[in-house]
Amino acid sequence: MISICGFVSIFFGGDSCFLIKGIRKVNYYTYMAKAGGSKVVSEINLRYRKEPVLFHDISSWGMHAMKEDAKYAIRLFAVGETGKIC
């Protein structure tokens, strides 16, 4: 166990840590969903007059944006604003 910023951290699998003191639950889905929706809107605005927009493109853009947003959130919670990894 390592303590940073008053939080106790535990490593799982060698490269992940979870803050277990002070944070019990993080409701993050809405933020991921907004990131996905925003990406879809921007891609449609860029492409809709030039080429047809297909459903599989829409779902792919949304999933990719949600995945990138989740990666950012995980890094933020794992590293914090100090830039030091747990």
Condensed to tens digits (0 to 9), the pLDDT of residues 39-85 reads 999 999 998 878 888 999 999 999 999 999 999 888 877 766 555 55
Q: Which residue has the higher pLDDT, 10 or 22?
A: 22
**C-alpha count within 13 angstroms, C-beta hemisphere, residue 21:** 10
Total-model pTM: 0.62
- Report CA Rg, the chain: 17
Phi, psi (deg, nearest 5) at residue 18: -130, 130
**Cα gap 51→54, rounded to integer Å:** 9
